[in-house]
Every structure is written in structure tokens, then in C-alpha cells.
Chain A
Amino acid sequence: MDRFLETFFNPVVMAQYTPDILAGVWVTLQIAAAIIVAGIAAGLALACLRSYGIRVLNVFIICYADIFRALPPLVVILILYFGFPSIGIQLSGPMVLFIVLAATLAAFAEEIFWAGFSSVEKGQWEAGIATGLGFTRTLTYIALPQAFRLAIPPIVNRVLAITKMTALGSAIGVSEILSSATTAQSFSGSATPLTMSVIAYLAIFLPMVAAARWLESRTAWKKR
């Protein structure tokens, strides 16, 4: 038992590397916030555009959403990070991570918001247009609020799943939590930094998972 504690909870190592891990937490939080804002905004914009029913545009939107839902983000990350410099586009690690995960979130968000729009009854659209609101205002004032409410639980789950993927940044040298921990692990020769990364992730995400569970149970209760 002592050896176990010494290996995974060594207080000296913990004290030494806490600043590094905290710096990693800060990087993770910043990138995650940017991903959430950009991804949801882009997804919502795409779903709104799709509701105008312009055929050519919709083919593009659907293909985009399908491709980014089907591709593993790590593949796209590696293509941008290792492939783009050779055509003269040099992107930093954090930038690549942000672009790919925001694009992935946008694809999922578009599908979720679109499902929300589809579930708004046709009569609502017709009534809005009949009162002279016009399509765009019907969309923003009538369809959007209803779609948004329906979309919240699945969006929250997806946001969680995708912000957790910021850990993939460790594969391209972004100094977020996991890469700070693995660096510290190889310097210290102790598994303690890995334990610290687990604790850091739990501190960030466990409250979010619990909140998502609460949100889901509340909406499920309302439906009954």
C-alpha cells in the first residue's frame, strides 16, 4: 500500500509539478471555451441557413456535417498539423486543435439544431409568415427559441464529449493538462503527475457531467 501511494500520490512530486498542471488546466479551459463558442455559433448558423432550403447550399451543409461526424478528429488534426505546412500554411498546435474540434462540434450542433427546427410544427411557420413576419423573422422569433430548448440536452452532451477531446492536443505538442502531465511524468520518473491529470480532469468535467445528468432528468420529467 505504501508503495502504491508513493507511486501514484507522491506528495513531493505533487508539490513540484502542481504549477505545471495548473498551467495546463488554464490552456485546456481557454481552448475549450473558444471551441464551445465557435462550434455552437457555427452549427446554429449552418442549421439556420439550411432552413432556407437552398438546394446547392444544403448539399454542402449536409456533406460537411456528415464528413465531420464520420471522421475521427485525430485524423483531421494530424492532416492539418503535419500536412498544411508543406503547402505553406503554418498553424500552431493550439490553433489546429481549436479549428478541428470547433469544426467537429459545429457539424454535430448543426444536426441537433436542424432536428430541433424540423420538430417545430409546420403550422407555426405558416402562422408566423401569415402574420407578415417574413421567413427570417419567423425563423429567429418563433422557430429558433423552440428549437433551442429542444437542443439543449443533446448539445450539452456533445459539448462535453468534444471539450474532453482537447486532450488530443498532447499528440501535437499543445501544453494542455495531459501533455503537462506526461512531460512531468518522464522528468520525475513517477506516475504521480498522471494521477494529477486525472484529478484535474475530474475537477473540470465531473461537475459538468452531473449538471448534464440533472438537466436531462429535468427535461425528461417535463415531458411526462
Chain B
Amino acid sequence: MDIFIDQFFNIEIMRKSFPLLLSGLWMTLKLCSAVILLGLIGGLFVALGNMSERRWLRWISIAYTDLFRALPPLVLLIFIYAGLPFAGINISPFAAVVIAFLLNNSSYYAEVYRAGLISVAKGQWEAAQSTGLTPAQTLIHVVLPQAVRNVLPDLLSNTVEVVKLTSLASVISLSELLYNAGMARSVTYNASPLVLAALFYLVLLWPLVRLVSHFQRRLAA
């Protein structure tokens, strides 16, 4: 038992690695805000393409979502980070992570938006446009708010997945939370920094996970 506590909950080591992990957390948060923001915007456009009346646009958007949902995000990340330099395109780790996860997440967000857009009755479009709103105004002021409200739990749970996903950036040595924790582990030969990183993630994400469950229950009732 003592060995267990010493190896996983060593307060002294946790205290020493805390500043390093905190700077990692900062990078994680920066990554999250970039990927989530771009993913939310990109996903909306992909979803609109999916709902388009133009067939070629629909096909492109379906191909896009299926392609990037079929590829594991880590494979995409390695391909961009390690593969593109072979084609003479050098890219920073941060940019590689943002691009790889944007491709992945905009596909997932697009599927969520699509479900939301379908859930808004057609009469809403027609009514709004007959009052003289342009299609863009109808979308922004009438349809989107209702669509987003209907799929809020799914948007939220997808966002939780994005935050968890950023931990993969450690594989290409971007000094985010998990990478820094791994560094601290290899210096101290002790797993406590990893446990501390897990606690950081829990503090960050447990409230969101609860919120998702809460929303789902309310929608089911």
C-alpha cells in the first residue's frame, strides 16, 4: 500500500511538478480554444454543404465527414506532422495538431449540426423567408438558435471529446499537459505527475460530463 501511494500519489513529487503541469495546462487550453472554435465554425459549413440543394456539394460534404470520421485522429496527426515535410511542407507541432484535429472535429460537429438543422421544422424557414429575411438571416436568427438548442448535449459531449483529444499532441512532443506530465515522470521515475495530470483533466471535464448527462436526462423526460 505504501509503495502504491509513493508511486502514484507522492505529494512531494506532485508539488514539484505542479508548475510544469500548469504551463502544460495553459498550452492544452490554447489548443482547445483553437480547435473548438475552428471546429464549431468549420463543422457548420460542412453541415450546410450537406443540406445543400446542389448535389455535388452534398457529395463533397458527405465524403469529407466520412473520410475524417474513419481516420483515427492520431494517424491524421502523424501523417500531417511526419509526412508533409517529405513534400517540402514544414509545419510547427501546434499547427499540425490544430489542422489534424480540425479536420477530425469539424466532421463530428457537422454531423451534430446536421441532426439539429433537420430537427427544425421546414415551416420555420418558410415563415422567416416570407417575412422578408434573406436565407442567411433566416439561418442565423431563426433556424440556428433552435437547431443548436436541440443538439446542445451532443455539441457539449463532442467538445469534451475535443479536450480529451488534445492529449494526443504529446505524441509529437508539443508541451501540453500530458507531455509535460510524461517528462516529469521520466525525470522522477514516478507516476505521480501522470496521476496529477489525470486529476487536472478530471477537474476540467467532470463538470462537463455531468452536464451532458443532466441535459440528456432532461431531454429524455
Contacts and interface: CB of A to CB of B under 8 A. Distances in A.
A137 to B, nearest CB: 25
Nearest to A182: B78
A171 B169 CA distance: 11
A101 to B, nearest CB: 12
Given A7-B87, A70-B160, A164 B72 contact: yes
B167 A67 contact: no
Interface in A150-167: 160-161, 164-167
B178 interface: yes
A86 B129 CA distance: 67
Given A69-B160, A194-B82, A75 B72 contact: no
Interface centre among A72, A76, A111, A198 (most CB of B within 10 A): A72
B116 interface: no
A213 B220 CA distance: 23
Contacts of B190: 86
A36 to B, nearest CB: 15
Interface in B167-182: 167-168, 170-171, 178, 181-182
Contacts of B197: 75
Interface residues of B, number: 51
A198 B79 contact: yes
Interface residues of A, number: 53
B205 interface: yes
Interface stretch (B3-11, B12-20, B39-47): B3-11
Contacts of B202: 67, 70-71
Given A78-B178, A115-B216, A164-B72, A87 B3 contact: yes
A190 to B, nearest CB: 7
A83 B74 contact: no
Given A75-B167, A76-B198, A87-B3, A8 B86 contact: yes
B70 A209 contact: yes
Contacts of B7: 83, 86-87
A208 B70 contact: yes
A41 B182 CA distance: 32
Contacts of A82: 185, 191, 194
B165 A83 contact: no
B70 A202 contact: yes
Contact of B75 (A119, A161, A197): A197
B119 to A, nearest CB: 10
B129 to A, nearest CB: 24
A201 B3 contact: no
B70 A170 contact: no
Contacts of A69: 160, 209
Interface in A57-112: 66-67, 69-76, 78-79, 82-83, 86-88, 111
Given A83-B185, A167-B74, 11 more contacts: A7-B86, A69-B209, A72-B178, A74-B178, A83-B191, A167-B72, A181-B78, A191-B86, A194-B78, A194-B79, A194-B83
A-B interface, 10 closest residue pairs, ranked by CB to CB distance from nearest: A83-B191, A191-B86, A72-B167, A205-B70, A70-B205, A72-B164, A167-B72, A164-B72, A191-B83, A167-B74
24 contacts: A7-B86, A8-B87, A66-B210, A66-B213, A70-B160, A70-B205, A72-B164, A74-B178, A75-B198, A75-B201, A78-B182, A79-B8, A79-B195, A82-B194, A86-B191, A111-B213, A115-B216, A164-B72, A185-B83, A197-B75, A198-B75, A201-B71, A201-B75, A205-B72
